Amino acid sequence: MFTNKLHPGTSFPNIKVNLSESETFALGSPINDDADWQMVIVYRGAHCPLCTKFLHELEEVKYLFLDIGIEIVAISADRFEQLERHKEDLKVNFTLGYGLSLADMNQLGVYQSIPRNDHETDHVFSEPAMFVIDREKTIIAVDLSNNPFTRPDVLNLLNGLK
């Protein structure tokens, strides 16, 4: 594992991820007109049950984040087919991006892992991370993890961002 960390108060890098096979979006710029900030959740991918659980927790309180002007987007290095299969179990109603490249992961400074076996996935993937970015693309908060089980508590995160 290696990382090149981003810091609060610095500019979020220009990174685009895929929404569909023909559509991309720029991270760090709110998509929702009701949001002033964007919370980018980087997750390991469809192979990670802890990531799925965390995304479900966010789904349950996403309206509370939007009430304070923060939209949620989640991204992974999964391929389109992996995300589409994952959506069947995921059932979240916030923006999901896929295809995070190694170059993008390097720019974000996230920890990266190589799959241990074919049951995980077939590509390098990012370990969990969270970035809260304002409209000027300034990083407000960062949380990087080198494993899927040390993430911020969703309600503590919400209360801290209030």
Could you report the per-residue pLDDT of 105-120, keeping only the tens digit for each?
999 999 998 888 777 7
Q: What is the pLDDT of residue 2?
A: 53
- How far, in Å, CA of 54 to CA of 52, rounded? 5
Which backbone phi and psi does 125 adopt, to 5 degrees?
Answer: -135, 160
Residue 125: HSE in the Cβ half-sphere, 13 Å Cα cutoff? 27
Q: What amino acid occupies position 40?
A: V
Place of tokens 């990382």: 3
Give the separation between CA 68 and CA 100, rounded to whole angstroms. Answer: 28
Q: Which DSSP letter does residue 77 get?
A: S
- The pTM is what? 0.93
| pLDDT tens for each residue of 59-95 | 999 999 999 999 999 999 999 999 999 998 888 999 9
